[in-house]
Amino acid sequence: MTRVYNFSAGPAILPEPVLEQAAAEMLDWQGTGMSVMEMSHRGKEFVSIAEQAEADLRELLDVPDDYRVLFLQGGATAQFSAVPLNLVGDAESVDYINTGSWSKKAIAEAQQYTQVNVVAEGGKGDPMAIPDRSEWQCDPSAAYFHYCANETITGVEFPAIPDVGDVPLVSDMSSTFLSRPLDVSRFGVIYAGAQKNFGPAGLTVVIVRSDLLDRASSRTPAVWHYHRQSEADSMLNTPATYSWYIAGLVFQWLKREGGLKAMGERNERKARRLYDAIDGSDFYRNPVAPDARSWMNVPFVLADDRLDKQFLEEASQAGLKTLKGHRSVGGMRASLYNAMPEAGVDALVDFMAEFERKNG
Ligand SMILES: *Cc1c(COP(=O)(O)O)cnc(C)c1O
């Protein structure tokens, strides 16, 4: 068996020990004679898996007691609708900042339900940047303020949690969730699809502050109704049981690896190594302003895009896979999620230097 270095933006690389444990438990989970996939979600075995996953996630993120953790389906895209449906309440409008494609999609969905005030437009131009906080046209009576913490496609990441006063802060953290420590108490709602940084597709974690649970529109679909799902322990209907189980194994792996502080240090080293290599050459370029550069998704272009195809082919032969940039951006993109080992980044940087030497 040969494992490659998989730089996919999502679904993405998972920690090898997690996959090994899942393989070992595939036919018989802890003496039950069943796969987790075959278990009733209401049985005590699966309930214990679900509760352990939530407890481990709460420990990793130090989630305060007045927050509920939900394990839902529908991806982050469902949350683009669920957030306004659950949170607008009596308010007249909501604030969003646009920093790229995923922000834009969230805005378009929210516009179906309420008036959206776009406080600032960023994530465009060269270098791409996040508009300065002093330029944001925020509305203090907005139901909430929404931002995409890390734009997966363009690699634009907020370096810190924005300050929006008393307006509940909502964040799409799909591609940065669990990549470093996070002060959950600053947020009203955090949501993240699992398939970027903590599990298989099909699972979306939503962390919601309890005082926001009583604002949902009566038209909110039951499966995305935060209060109803919270009362049902995220089992109002059948949850994504296998994805939930794998996410739980990832949470245990993160704890064994030293938690989010250790993970953040490792991720910063990985990102710096790649950005340094890009900045140190005239052959490669990253178009994002240094203080908005993502630790998780690093897009880069070659000075001569006629070499793109050859770069991807030779990288693939060297076991460096899925480096093609998003179709809307072109070039390359290396996703460096938690499960990408430092050796994978070293291999990429070495390959890039060698490719430049031969073709530069
Ligand atoms: C991938 C992604 C989404 C969409 O996730 P789905 O699971 O496909 O709905 C939304 N936001 C961000 C930041 C993403 O990276």
Instruction: Give the domain CATH number at 78.
Output: 3.40.640.10
Q: Is residue 246 part of a domain?
A: yes
Q: Is the CB of 8 under 6 A from ligand 1?
A: no
CA 334 remoteness from chain centre: 15
pLDDT at 126: 87
Contacts 24+ apart (CB under 8 A), 228-231: 229/70, 229/72, 230/68, 230/70
Low-confidence ranges of the chain (pLDDT < 50): none
Q: Do 133 and 235 fall within a single domain?
A: yes
Q: Do 193 and 297 fall within a single domain?
A: no
Q: Is the CB of 77 under 6 A from ligand 1?
A: yes
Q: What is the pLDDT of residues 204-235, one digit of tens each?
A: 999 999 999 999 999 999 999 999 999 999 99
pLDDT at 11: 98
Q: Domain of 173?
A: 16-256
Q: Do 23 and 120 fall within a single domain?
A: yes
pLDDT at 124: 85
- Cα 238 to ligand 1 centroid, rounded to whole Å: 22
Q: Do 38 and 171 fall within a single domain?
A: yes
Q: Do 180 and 304 fall within a single domain?
A: no
Active centre residues (catalytic): 102, 172, 196
Q: Is residue 326 part of a domain?
A: yes
Q: What angle do CA 324, 179, 177 make, to 5 degrees?
A: 90
Q: Which atom of ligand 1 is nearest to the CA of 74?
A: 9
Q: Do 107 and 232 fall within a single domain?
A: yes
Q: Phi and psi for 17 in degrees, rounded to 5?
A: -60, -30
Q: Which atom of ligand 1 is nearest to the CA of 102?
A: 11
Rounded Cα distance, 89 and 114, in Å: 10
pLDDT at 139: 98
The encoded tokens of residue 252 equal 């245990």
Domain count, the chain: 2
Q: Do 186 and 296 fall within a single domain?
A: no
Predicted TM-score of the model (pTM): 0.98
| Mean pLDDT estimate for the chain | 97
For 77-132, the three-class secondary structure string (H helix, E strand, C coil) is HHHHHHHHHHHCCCCCEEEEEECCHHHHHHHHHHCCCCEEEEEEECCCCCCECCCC
Q: Do 71 and 206 fall within a single domain?
A: yes
Upstream peptide bond of 200 is cis (omega within 30 degrees of 0): no
Q: Do 87 and 39 fall within a single domain?
A: yes
Q: Is residue 264 part of a domain?
A: yes
In a mutational test of the pocket of ligand 1, which residue from 71, 157, 175, 191 has the highest number of ligand atoms less than 8 Å from its CB?
A: 175
Rounded Cα distance, 187 and 179, in Å: 17
pLDDT at 150: 98
Q: Do 162 and 273 fall within a single domain?
A: no
Q: Is residue 182 part of a domain?
A: yes
- Cα 152 to ligand 1 centroid, rounded to whole Å: 8
Alpha helices in 291-336 (DSSP H): 308-317
pLDDT at 123: 82
Q: Do 290 and 217 fall within a single domain?
A: no
Instruction: Give the domain CATH number at 273.
Output: 3.90.1150.10
Q: Is the CB of 175 under 6 A from ligand 1?
A: yes
Q: Is residue 25 part of a domain?
A: yes
pLDDT at 1: 79
> What DSSP character marks residue 326?
P
Q: Do 217 and 274 fall within a single domain?
A: no
Q: What angle do CA 46, 51, 57 make, to 5 degrees?
A: 130
